[in-house]
Structure 1
Amino acid sequence: MSIEIEDWGRTRYDDATQRQLDRVQQRRNGEIADTLIFTEHEPVYTIGRRKDARQNLLLDEAALAERGFDLAETTRGGDITYHGPGQLVGYAILSLDDRKDLHRYLRDIEQVLINALGVLGLAAARREGKTGIWLEDRKIAAIGIAVTRWISYHGFALNVAPDLSHFAGIVPCGIATTDGSVTSLQKELGDLCPPMDEVKAVVAREFETVFGG
């Protein structure tokens, strides 16, 4: 089965969440096929369902307002993270009726990103005991999924060329400074960093390879 690709451009997080939920209902009703959605969010910190995730927010409401950042509670798994321009967010609206295995689904999302980064020239991998995708001790992609009645939503966030200083407002995904740091394609590749459209094309192709068979 082929995967449909939608590109929503720049979105606010809350708006995109509602649009995702609409797509979930459409997928459940058989009105759309399995779909991968690309977007870049306006600056926002999102808090996952992990216990005590909020304590990893380092800014108060006044500081958030001063910076123009949103704060959103979310239904995805995981801790707190940042989304913003220059970061490729992928939302996967898939029927998992044929697998019903969340561990396998998460591994498959990870494999998509590992394969895509390999094509783009970076040797990425999983890291024992940590979530997301890493270049040694540098985290380049976060993953947070949710499933309702075996339809998936949420997905991943790949740092292409975001302002990495924005991660300083949180302990991203609970990563202590002794555990590692956050990186991006731009930081790793410099002038060789591909444009966002090229990254989207590579990720879409690898997603199709893993999930479209």
Structure 2
Amino acid sequence: MFEVYRLGTVPYRKAWDMQKERVRRIDEGDASNQLLLLEHPHTITLGRGSHAEHLLLSSEEYARRGIDVVEIDRGGDVTYHGPGQLVGYPLFHLGERGNDAHCYLRDLEESLIIALRAFGIEGERKPPYTGVWVGDEKVAAIGVKFNRGRRRRGYITSHGFALNVCSDLSYFDLIVPCGIREYGVTSMERLGKKVSMDEVMDRVVEGISRVFGWEAVEGVHSS
């Protein structure tokens, strides 16, 4: 089982703090596996594998444009979050599924591929890159952290995926997305599918439930 929390728009740093607290509670056995679904205001995040040259503007210019720039503890390079993008943070105890980090990434991709197929979009993998692609354009980015449990054996995941539903793709021109210069990004809307965020969330939850073999239960957000 995993609990689903639909949180609306949440500032990036607040959502990051929320993840850390909930990972701690999962480790202590006080919380179930859960999936946070939300949107962020305009934010650029730099993972542990980021390179400064993949930021194409100065910090002052990003601030002038109202874009928060945050260095974080997930894997991967630089990416963009903003309105119209569905961000999902699965906080899952992988000890229940063999503690296989590689398999977890492929399962996230498969969950999103299934969700996109419900809207008539054929997403696919593009080795060696992580994420979901339509042709040579990425529609969903994935960047995660595997937190070692202190009380429970095995990893507890945090961070997750960002699916471009109706994002303003011009913001990706301000960075080198995921450090990949030769390929572009796209969105469901650009692919001709104008759908509501609620519809996309429903299909993503169904995809994750199907791939991971867990029942999804709607959680009640109290903070």
TM, length-normalised to structure 2: 0.90
1:59 aligns with one of 57, 62, 82: 57
Aligned with 2:204: secondary structure?
Answer: helix
Q: Is the Cα contact below 8 Å between 1:47 and 1:54 reproduced in 2? A: no
The code of the aligned residue for 1:193 comes to K
Counterpart Cα distance in 1 of 2:3 and 2:9: 19
What is the distance in 2 between the residues matched to 1:115 and 1:53? 32
After the TM superposition, list the runs of 4 or more consecutive aligned residues in structure 1 that deviate by more than 3 angstroms: none
Counterparts of 2:201 and 2:124 in 1: how far apart (Å)? 19
Tell me the SS of whatever aligns to 1:186. coil
Please provide the CA RMSD for this pair.
Answer: 1.0
- Given candidates 174, 177, 195, the residue that maps to 1:172 is 177
> Deviations for 1:162-186, whole angstroms, at most 9, x for unmatched residues?
111011110001121xx21110000
Q: Could you tell me which residue of structure 1 aligns to residue 94 of structure 2? A: 96
- Are 2:147 and 1:148 aligned? yes
Report how many aligned residue pairs link the two structures.
207
Tell me the amino acid that sits aligned with residue 202 of structure 2. A
Quote the offset at 1:35 in angstroms: 0.4
Q: How far is the alpha carbon of 1:120 from its aligned partner? A: 1.4
User: How far apart are residue 53 of structure 1 and its match?
Assistant: 2.4
Give the counterpart of 1:78 among 65, 76, 79: 76
What's the counterpart of residue 189 of structure 2? 186
Q: Of Structure 1 and Structure 2, which has the larger fraction of its residues in helix?
A: 1
Partner of 1:20: 19
Hey, what's the Cα distance between the residues in 2 that align with 1:77 and 1:105?
A: 14
Residue number in structure 2 paired with 1:204: 205
What residue number does 2:33 align with? 34
**Runs (5+) with no aligned partner, structure 1:** none
Q: C-alpha displacement at 1:147, in angstroms? A: 1.0
SS of corresponding position for 1:145: strand
Which residue matches 2:123? 124
Percent identity between the aligned chains? 43
The whole-number CA distance in structure 2 between the counterparts of 1:156 and 1:170 is: 18
